[in-house]
Structure 1
Amino acid sequence: MPILLLALIDLVQSEHSLRRNYPASARFRWLFEWMRPYLRAYIVESDLDGRPFSHDERALVYARAKGDEDAHPFGTELDVYSGAYEWLAHSIAPATNVERDQRVLVGTDQCSRPYAASRLNISAMSFGSLGANAIEALNLGAKLGGFYHDTGEGGLSTYHLKHGGDIVWELGSGYFGCRDENGRFDPGKFRDQAGSEAIRMTEIKLSQGAKPGHGGLLPGAKVTAEIAKARNVPQGADCVSPPGHSAFATPIELLEFAGQMRDLSGGKPVGIKLCIGYPHEFLAIVKAMLETGILLDYIVIDGAKGGTGAAPTELSDRVGMPLREGLIIARNALVGTGLKDKVRLAASGKVASGAAIAMNAALGADWCNAARAFMFSLGCVQSMRCHTGTCPTGIATQSPARQRALVVPEKARRVARYHRATVDALHDMVVAAGLQSCGEFRPSHLRQRINVAEMRAMDEIYSFLAPGVLLSEPESTSMAAWWHQASAATFRARS
């Protein structure tokens, strides 16, 4: 009887043509459509399939987070003659006495409170995008493991500060947590919060890999009392992140704003994060540093593969520069102007292993930030429901019932174990390459297969500039056209 009633409803409804022609039975299509991601993940996909992270990539994080054996038996499953294969060169004379917990000192001579950063840290994930238990577990894990936790642009919540892990406070265009009633930057509110001992660095988010050049909207229905307090916005009202910043409009103004933030924070390092779009805009920032004498302490390059929440499909798939090209442009800009030994460079975007950290180091990164890998360490199963509020593992949700699944002390230990094992794996790669530090990796260490019969080192594929060449001989470089388009006075390209 219920099936007959369902068939009658389908016959007379006007919304779905399949249901009118195939009453009741057409509903199986929706059932299988709903089940499709789960069937693929657990039955259909091979170990190397799956996007954005394959089964093997996820399994490596899970094993390290749980403290299980992470070795792989019987040789690699990768096709080493595929055009997508890449590897790091090793030495027949491996290094000895290499320090395991190597740090990167962040802070120019304009910074009175430099910070020693780990080679791997937690990338930006906001409270609101992640639930309270997830934020707590990540921060406690950072405390246990001795690395930093980026707040994301969603403000500094009590959950970020509860356990005392090192914090990088990120400010986006909404200036959440330090904004006035009109949504503009409030220096007093920033100073009051940035003085916290837990906050080790501050960061200006210009763009992100998941949705570069796009703002955001958190509907009022999702703006709970806790989120409203963290973001300094009215509860129940739409929370808007504009596409661009109101505190500055030119490269010089950006540097002046960064200098102001450094002063207000008591001399702590200040940096920027961006996914590179037009290369001349990044060079304009570099020129502004040269002209004003105000230096950023660090720059984080986000790759277009990044993203832990939801983003418009077109922006996620087709806008923004992939990490490798963006990192090389940033490295060349800093090296070519003689700033690389002062301004630190970090990479963020699909980093999950010691090999990924080493490969980014070969292209100029001093350290790496990871977001999704640390979500896997919490137990994320890549269900792709981050934006729905129905995350099955209680990570990307504000539902108290779902968050109950995430037990903070246990998950924090998983976060710390994953970090420790991955940094140890990086140490092994440094030793195998015959080096004393991750910072000694160079483009020549990273090899890329071109086709089944040919491979090349990265410095044979991409152009890597010599120190100071953009100042002495810009016309001789591959960046000459972008260099001439760049101006410290504007983000617009000069003709």
Structure 2
Amino acid sequence: MNHRIARWAVYLLCLLLDVSVAASLYRGYLTGWILLPVAVGVTLLTLIDRFQGKHALLRNYPLLGRLRYLLEHIRPEMRQYFFESDTDGRPFSRRQRAVVYQRAKDVKQTVAFGALADMYEPGYEWASHTAFPTKVKPEALRVTIGNKQCSQPYNASLLNISAMSYGALSKTAILSLNGGAKVGGFAHNTGEGGVSPYHLQHGGDLIWQIGTGYFGCRDENGNFSPEVYAGTVAEPSVKMVELKLSQGAKPGKGGVLPAAKNTPEIAAIRKVKPGVSVLSPAAHTAFGNEYEMLTFLQQLRTLSGGKPVGFKLCVGRKDEFERICIAMTNTGIYPDFITVDGAEGGTGAAPLEFTDSIGMPLYDALAFVVNMLKKYDLKQHIRIMASGKIITGFDIMKVLALGADACYSARGMMLALGCIQALQCDSGSCPVGVATQDPTLYQGVNVTDKKERVANFHRNTIYALAELMGACGFAAPEQVNPAALYRRVTRTDIRSYEEIYAPDNGRSAGAALLPGQAVNN
């Protein structure tokens, strides 16, 4: 009975509105002319809803059913601004976003009245401090990447900008990120979209990522071109080259650059035809197995003049990575670095199944990769970079404990640019102009201001890491070990990272190292 009342009430209200307006017009009242457009609009909308065949809800409840779509549309904003607590937002909580904003703006970074987290809730993590803290210089938190097969090693910051392409991000966002990298002295990964003029304008250090589409280094048939590659990699700003096998957001899946986004400018950068959809296949065409991949990496290093080369992957089948390690041992070809991307990575839009259900999370993957490299005595040749929801100094310390030598942040850097986590990255209508090609939106990004914010976020986060390390008694990054980090597994069961992940990374000593104690790495 109630649903019939609701449905017929709309018809009755429309009828009353139309009759009232008609009566006002008949009597010459001004009100009738004012309400006439409203009456016509409401009546037409009701009739359209009643006789359309696409939405059953609107057909059964004309006009009234539109409230459902309105509420659904504003639901994310309502949840984020009114109902979400400081600690339960996803993928980043309000508390996490706030610390990025504060560090980017270089303002107050303290919290009052104690921790908000329930320290007895399963999943809570902490580090054990020492009674004898050390002094760690933030500027010393760097690592040299490049083994004996590399003639141009790169001295990298422990925190760098993760892979995000021009095309996915706006030109003003790329300019701001690279400008921040230049100011702060850290590296900017180009993403697989190629090296654009906006990556080069400020002169920040670049890690050139090459994906399955070989954008920026391909011939007219879409195959890898050594000649084109050699021309770009010679740029002084290009410090390292990263071959992308897979990424955490959508491991095992390729991508498509829609024709609408393939502007003449982007087409020229990616070496493709403008105005057509361009496919990034799931697999590489330049190699088909682990031995061919290592040979390809060696070719990339030779053509670059000896710059560091490595590969990025989201770990899937463990036996495949072990075969890569065996191939390294058999060939004697070692990448200078491996980037381990956790399945929690999120800057690439993907189907729900790939986002939620494919790939190994970062901490498990990191421990596995380091263990495997140790098993085959390869870790001495290869640096490990980690990526996947890393935004705070504590996040960095956790991946260092599991064997990483440096790390990337993608969404942390986006938040520093002004991202509000609107979750519109794949719509082309990013409200703050970061992930869009709409000039009316991206012109809102003030490059002069935002590059300083990116640099501020990096500097303050590295400073926080230095303070954390000092509080725990670690004098250098290689001293950070998993025995000093703990996780509450149940309300009464506590385990160290060493017990959970058992990483054989040369840092498991059963207890935190004493200040200044040397480590064999």
Cα pair 1:101 1:423 within 8 Å, conserved: no
Q: Does 1:361 align with 2:368?
A: no
Q: Does 1:407 align with 2:449?
A: no
Unaligned runs of 5+ residues in structure 2 are 1-38, 507-521
Paired residue for 2:150? 111
Paired residue for 1:38? 77
Shift of 1:463: 2.8
Q: Distance in 2 between matches of 1:429 and 1:18?
A: 55
Q: Choose from 294, 297, 309 the match for 1:255.
A: 294
Call closer, same or farther: CA 1:314–1:359 in 2, change over 3 Å.
Answer: same
The amino acid that maps onto 1:213 is: G
Q: Does 1:435 align with 2:458?
A: no
Q: Choose from 211, 215, 219 the match for 1:180.
A: 219
The amino acid that maps onto 2:379 is: K
Q: Choose from 51, 60, 64 the match for 2:99.
A: 60
Q: Choose from 275, 281, 299 the match for 2:338.
A: 299
Paired residue for 1:265? 304
Q: Does 1:87 align with 2:126?
A: yes
Q: Choose from 371, 382, 386 the match for 1:343.
A: 382
Q: Choose from 228, 249, 257 the match for 1:189.
A: 228
1:472-491 alignment, distance < 5 Å: none
Paired residue for 2:365? 326
Deviates more, 1:23-32 or 1:138-147: 23-32
1:235-250 alignment, distance < 5 Å: 235-250=274-289
Q: Distance in 2 between matches of 1:204 and 1:9?
A: 53
Higher relative contact order (CA 8 A, sep 6+): 1
Paired residue for 1:7? 46
Q: Tell me which structure has the larger Cα radius of gyration.
A: 2
Paired residue for 1:154? 193
The amino acid that maps onto 1:170 is: Q
The amino acid that maps onto 1:3 is: V
SS at the partner of 2:220?
A: coil
Paired residue for 2:461? 422
TM-score norm. by structure 1 comes to 0.93
RMSD: 1.0
Q: Choose from 454, 461, 464 the match for 2:493.
A: 454
SS at the partner of 1:221?
A: coil
SS at the partner of 1:220?
A: coil
Paired residue for 1:50? 89
Q: How many residues align?
A: 467
Shift of 1:309: 3.4
Shift of 1:97: 5.7
Unaligned runs of 5+ residues in structure 1 are 468-495
Q: Distance in 2 between matches of 1:260 and 1:98?
A: 38
Q: Choose from 265, 273, 284 the match for 1:234.
A: 273
Paired residue for 1:393? 432
Paired residue for 2:22? none
Shift of 1:464: 2.7
Call closer, same or farther: CA 1:466–1:216 in 2, change over 3 Å.
Answer: closer
Shift of 1:11: 1.2
SS at the partner of 1:196?
A: coil
Measured against aligned partners, the alpha-carbon deviations of 1:165-203 in whole angstroms (never above 9, x if no partner) come to 000000000000000111111001000100110000001
Measured against aligned partners, the alpha-carbon deviations of 1:9-67 in whole angstroms (never above 9, x if no partner) come to 11111111111111111111111111101101101101012110000000000000001
Q: Distance in 2 between matches of 1:328 and 1:461?
A: 10
TM-score norm. by structure 2 comes to 0.88
The amino acid that maps onto 1:221 is: A
The amino acid that maps onto 1:180 is: D
The amino acid that maps onto 1:115 is: Y
Q: Distance in 2 between matches of 1:466 and 1:238?
A: 44
Shift of 1:98: 4.4
Q: Distance in 1 between matches of 2:112 and 2:387?
A: 30
